[in-house]
Structures are given as structure tokens and as C-alpha cells.
Amino acid sequence: MTVPPDLEPLANAPPSAGWTSAPVLAHALPFLAWIVLKSVLDVAVPDQAWKYAVLSLVGALLLVTLRPWRYYPRPQWRHVPLALLIGVVVLAIWVVPFLGVADGMPLVQELYLRFGVLPLGRLPAFPTQSLYSPELCGWPLTLVRLGGSAFIIAVAEEFFWRGFLYRRLLRPDFLKAPLGQFEVEAFCWSVLLFGLEHREVVAGILAGAIYGLLIIRTRDIWTAVVAHVLTNLLLGIYVIRYDAYGFW
């Protein structure tokens, strides 16, 4: 019997239940190493913009070495238009609450800013400069910051949160869990944890839900990867263009 292309990885998947197995490390290590290294660098060299270049280099090396995408079929190009649309939609979810268009609903905007953005309970600051402003660090490091957030951590996040964690909550041998499988409790946990990773918690939860549903609908992890990359790329361009460094 012929196995449908989108289910081939399930038919030929290696054992992936062990936490030190190659599939688990490929999916989890790039993201977890990024989080740990970022925390260390933020403490050790808080005022140095080159730390993001180190993060990006380490993240890129881990992704290229471990190749989490080898456990999936190639991208299905028919899903690209939907992925691009979702990328723009998530960008809007992230940015609109901070724009003047939300001023028509001041109470809603204040509630969002107080209780949807960390730290909870007080209005967040909106810096117009950061370590990564081209005026402070130069364009090369600003562009590294843009590229790292779009093409490295966005990719690592998708393979960790949607490729690994959600499916690991479905079954220990996570590669045997089909990408199109939906289970409410596992989905809610993965979405909530993804949201808590971000300063903009509510936007993060909504983004995680949208990216997750996109994969479940298309059974193609690359749709969420493309959408997430586009969101982060456009957000970074917005940050640089309008000095909205609170997002960085």
C-alpha cells in the first residue's frame, strides 16, 4: 500500500521517545540553547549589541547541524499564500494594540497594555532606542538582529513548540503523532507556554494558537515556519522604521 506523502515521516520515523534521542535533540536543542545563552549574555554583557550576533551564530549552527526539518516532507508550495496571509495577520495582532487606531477604545487598550503585556499590572515603557538601534550599534548589528529574529529563532521556535512540544504532549513517541491531530488539552498547554515566552503575552497566545491551527489544517509544518518568519521579519522592519524598539 502506498503511503501518502504527508504521512511518510510517520511510516519511517525513528524512535523518538527518549529525551536524548536524535529527533528530540534536533527539535529542542536549537531553541533551548538560544534561551539559555540569551539569559547568560543578558546578564554577562547587558549593554553589548554583539551578543545577538553570537546568539544567531550559535542558533544557526545548531539548526544546520541537527536539521530538524529532515523529519518532515518538503514544503507544499500550495500552502505558501495562506502562510503569507497568516504572517501578516499575526503581525497585526502584535502591533495594532500599540497604534493610534486603538485610541478609539481607550479602556480596552489600557486593559490590554496593563494585563496583556509583561510585567502585568502596569503600563509598559515604549523606548525609542535600544542596543540594536543603528545609531548606537551600526547597521550591520541591527541587520543581524533583524535576520536572527526572523530566520533563526522563528524557525527554531516552530520546530520546538509545534513540531516537538505539542506532539510530545500527544504521545511520548512524538514523531508518531500526525501533524493534523488536534487535542484540546495539549493544544491549550502548548499555546499558553508559547505565549508566556513573550513579553506580549496575549499576542503570543493568539499567535501560538494561529500557527498551531495552521499546521493542523495543512498538516505541513512549513506553513507555520513561513508565517512565523514573515511575522518576525515585518515586525523587525516596523521596529527599525518607526523606532518601536519596545518589541525588541
What DSSP line would sit under 28-40, residue for residue? Answer: HHHHHHHHHHHHH
Q: What would the pLDDT profile of 138-167 be if each residue is shown by its tens digit?
A: 999 999 999 999 999 999 999 999 999 999
Is the pLDDT at 10 greater than 60? The verdict is: no
Task: Check if the beta carbon of residue 82 is closer than 8 Å to that of residue 235.
Answer: no
Is the pLDDT at 202 greater than 60? The verdict is: yes
Backbone phi and psi for residue 121, each to the nearest 5 degrees, phi listed first? 100, -10
Burial readout 58-88 (b: 16 or more C-beta within 10 A, e: otherwise): bbbebbeebebbebbbebeeebeebbeebbe
Q: What is the mean pLDDT of residues 124-143?
A: 91
Burial readout 164-173 (b: 16 or more C-beta within 10 A, e: otherwise): bbbbbbbeeb
CA dihedral 186, 191, 197, 198 (to 10 degrees): 180
* Overall number of domains in the chain: 1
Q: What would the pLDDT profile of 67-90 be if each residue is shown by its tens digit?
A: 999 999 999 999 999 999 999 999
Q: How far is 70 from 79, CA to CA, in rounded Å?
A: 19
pLDDT range class, residue 121, cuts 50, 70, 90 = confident
pLDDT of residue 135: 94
Residue 106: domain span? 5-247
Mean pLDDT of the chain: 92
3-state secondary structure of 144: helix
